[in-house]
Amino acid sequence: MSRTKGKYHVLTFGCQMNHSDSERLASALENYGFQNTDTLEEAELVIFNTCSIKQKAEDKVLGHMKKVTKMKARNSKVKLGITGCMTRITSSAKSRTKDELFKQIPDLDICFPIKDLPKIGSLLKDIDPDFADLEQEEADLGNYFKIAPKYKTPFQAYLPIMTGCDKFCTYCIVPYSRGRETSRPIDEIYQEALKIVDNGGLEITLLGQNVNSYGLSWADKKSDKFTYDSPPFVQLLKKLDTIEGLKRLRFTSPHPQDMCNKVVDAIADLESLMPYIHLPLQSGSDYILKKMNRNYDSKKFMEIVHYIRSRMPNCAISTDIIVGFCGETEEHFQETYDLFKEVCFDLAFISQYSTRKGTVAGLLKKDDVPAEVKKQRWHRLNDLLRETSLIKNKYFEGKTVQVLFERKSRKAGILKGRTEYGKEVILEGPETLIGQIVPVKIAESQEWRLLGELVT
């Protein structure tokens, strides 16, 4: 390990994949001799791990960077970096060819897509001769996925199984920001999962833009990494299920296009898999789904839901919905509303469409639904969600569930955790329960959570 280089602070925006990437980033920096600080003002190296799923997400990042700009004005040693989905070209302020972000952020020092994390040493050397020894240490980092993450808790971990996306939904920037889809070998993932469990991990969540298309991309099929006697994702789930001590295995998010019965069967049959599936619908209108390039229709989606319920009647199902997409009429929205009600989702993440530069929809489709109409549709769907979520939660009243306690609440003596079904539970209890799976009796159900009592 090199001598101490100073303190670093990473600000993470966006999805669980970004948070997982930040754990690898933290590990790489600490291998280089940097020390973490939770206080932004104490840091000499500040790196933003960014989300660009919406223009508002990018605007939020740029707004937060103003704080670091003021820090740099007071202290010339402060360095500013950016990674994640907003980046395209690995470069430093001294590079001949730079990412476009250097025009937007004059005080930016380094920029790199997360897959180029192993190059961070040479980037820092470019901007500060004091970091010259870092470049020689890059070989120790190796491939981005082989950098051991610095997990935030010992009992839970996010484990990325793939990167990129080949779906090219017309509203989405991910295929352009993260590149084409490629999957990690099964044994590589298995070995990382073994280490997690050996270090006290109870729950692992597999991450990917479309986890159930694991191993199915053109690049994967060309690589000889997989056999296809059964879906590679099912093979992976079965392999991980053999790990002794792994109590809970989850994944997010599958894509309806590649959701086959064998995946559902694996969730139903394997001991470590939890009865919870996040299945992004986006719209209940076949017309809108086609405009979104989702490559399934409402009938296909309902067939998946019916099969899930036939194998696991109480399986929790959540979804993503976009209201007000280009050309969405009241009739189209009603189709979404009706399908949403029929499925009776446990939870949903509902967003109002906004134009995203660089996407097909941003270039070719007119954002023609008025903002007030989008807002009204959002409220109508959210009100329905309150009803369906409460219906689903009421099922658990009086029942005993297994809760993994994750953290304490801001209220003294209150703990928060999640059931097998992904439901949040709160109750009074000692902090020593954090990191343990214990039986809890549900005393009351609310719209978004359950209230429990310890089983004595």
List pLDDT tens digits, range 401-415.
999 999 999 888 999
pLDDT of residue 410: 87
Spatial separation of the C-alpha atoms in residues 425 and 379, rounded to whole Å: 25
The Cα–Cα gap between 356 and 448 comes to: 30
Question: Which pLDDT score is estimated for 401?
Answer: 98
Report the CATH number of the 150-394 domain.
3.80.30.20
pLDDT for the residue numbered 227 = 95
- The DSSP annotation for 294-345 comes to -S--HHHHHHHHHHHHHH-TT-EEEEEEEES-TT--HHHHHHHHHHHHHHT-
| pLDDT confidence band for 137 (50 / 70 / 90) | low
Dihedral sign (CA 44, 30, 106, 123): positive
Residue 350 has pLDDT above 90, yes or no: yes
Secondary structure letter of residue 282 according to DSSP = B
Alpha helix ranges (H) inside 32-131: 55-74, 101-104, 120-127
Q: Is 153 exposed, middle or buried (0-12, 13-18, 19+ CB in 10 A)?
A: middle
What are the pLDDT digits (tens) for 321-342?
Answer: 999 999 999 999 999 999 999 9
For residue 299, the tally of other CB atoms under 10 A from its CB is 8
* Cβ atoms 403, 418 nearer than 8 A: yes
* More confident: 395 or 5: 395
From the list 384, 385, 320, the residue with the least C-alpha distance to 350 is 320
Predicted pLDDT of residue 141: 52
| pLDDT at residue 138 is higher than 70 | no
Domain 400-454 matching CATH 3.40.50.620: the answer reads no
Closest CA to 13 of 79, 87, 117: 87
Give every CB contact of residue 333 below 8 A, 6+ residues apart in sequence: 285, 323, 377
Q: What is the pLDDT of residues 27-50, one digit of tens each?
A: 999 988 899 999 999 999 999 999
Structure confidence at residue 148 (pLDDT): 82
- Token digits for 167? 């779906």
Q: pLDDT value at position 139?
A: 45
pLDDT band at 5 (very low <50, low <70, confident <90, very high): confident
Residues 6+ apart with CB under 8 A from 31: 1, 137, 140, 141
Taken in order 320, 115, 222, 225, the sign of the CA dihedral is: negative
The arrangement of strands across the sheet holding 316-323 comes to 276-278, 316-323, 347-352
Select 6-144's CATH number: 3.40.190, 3.40.50, 1.10.3470, 3.10.350.
Answer: 3.40.50
- CA 217 – CA 221 distance, rounded (Å): 6
Strand ranges, E, within 99-240: 110-111, 156-160, 162-163, 182-183, 203-207
Side chain identity, residue 218: W
Pair 256, 286: CB distance under 8 Å: no
Report the chain's mean pLDDT, rounded to a whole number: 93
Question: Quick one: tokens of 376?
Answer: 């009204």
Contacts of 20 (CB under 8 A, 6+ apart): 149, 158, 159, 160, 207
pLDDT of residue 3: 55
CB 118: neighbour CB atoms within 10 A? 19
- Neighbour tally for 147: CB within 10 Å: 20
Residue 401, exposed/middle/buried by CB under 10 A (0-12, 13-18, 19+)?
buried
* Residue 1, pLDDT score: 43
Through-space distance between the first and last CA atoms of the chain, rounded to whole angstroms: 49
Residue 166 CA to residue 208 CA, distance in Å, equals 12
**What tokens were used for 67?**
């704080």
Burial class (CB in 10 A: 0-12, 13-18, 19+), 428: middle
Instruction: Average the pLDDT over 189-205 and give the result.
Output: 97
Domain ranges of the chain: 6-144, 150-394, 400-454
The pLDDT > 70 percentage for the chain reads 97
- pLDDT tens for 231-273 read 999 999 999 999 999 999 999 999 999 999 999 999 999 999 9
Query: For 359-394, what is each residue's pLDDT tens digit?
Result: 898 888 899 999 999 999 999 999 999 999 999 999
The Cα 83–Cα 90 span in angstroms is 9
